[in-house]
C-alpha cells in the first residue's frame, strides 16, 4: 500500500485557506501556498503548509517546530504553537483538510470517476 502524504494544490493564499476551513489566521495572510503536507518526513516543499493531523498514537501539533525548521511557511493546527510562525487555528485539522480538499475539487469541471 502506498501512503502519499504530499498534496500539490493550486495557488491559494494563507488567508484564503483560513476562510475555506473556517479557521483563525495568525500571521501573514498574503503568503502563497502551493504545497500541503501532513508528514514531516516529506517536507522541504516550496511554499508549503504543514497540516498537523493527530491520531490515536500521535499529536500532530508536536511536529510543528520540525515542520517550521524544515521550511514550512505556515502550519494548520488545533492548538496554538509554541513557536513563532504563521498559522491557522482550527478545532479539527483532519476536518479542515477535508473541507479544503472538497473546496479545491469543486474548482474543476471534469467529472469524478
Q: 27-55 pLDDT, tens per residue?
A: 999 999 988 999 988 756 788 999 999 99
Domains and CATH numbers, the chain: 6-105 (3.40.1390.10)
Which of the residue ranges 5-9, 37-41, 62-66, 91-95 would you say has the lowest mean pLDDT? Answer: 5-9
**Per-residue pLDDT at 1:** 45
**Per-residue pLDDT at 107:** 83
pTM: 0.85
Cα separation, 44 vs 35, whole angstroms: 10
Rounded-to-10 torsion of CA 76, 80, 84, 86: 30
Query: Across-strand partners of 89?
Result: 24, 77
Render pLDDT for 52-87 as a digit per residue (tens, 0 to 9): 999 999 999 999 999 999 999 999 999 999 899 999
Pairing of strands 87-89, 24-26: antiparallel
**Per-residue pLDDT at 98:** 97
Amino acid at each position: 500500500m502506498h501512503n502519499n502524504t504530499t498534496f500539490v494544490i493550486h495557488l491559494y493564499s494563507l488567508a484564503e485557506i483560513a476562510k475555506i476551513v473556517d479557521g483563525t489566521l495568525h500571521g501573514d495572510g498574503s503568503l502563497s501556498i502551493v504545497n500541503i503536507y501532513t508528514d514531516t518526513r516529506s517536507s522541504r516543499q516550496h511554499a508549503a503548509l504543514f497540516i498537523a493531523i493527530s491520531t490515536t498514537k500521535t499529536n500532530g501539533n508536536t511536529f510543528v517546530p520540525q515542520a517550521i525548521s524544515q521550511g514550512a511557511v505556515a502550519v494548520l493546527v488545533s492548538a496554538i504553537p509554541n513557536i513563532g510562525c504563521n498559522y491557522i487555528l482550527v478545532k479539527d485539522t483532519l476536518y479542515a483538510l477535508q473541507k479544503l480538499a472538497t473546496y479545491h475539487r469543486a474548482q474543476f469541471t471534469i467529472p469524478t470517476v
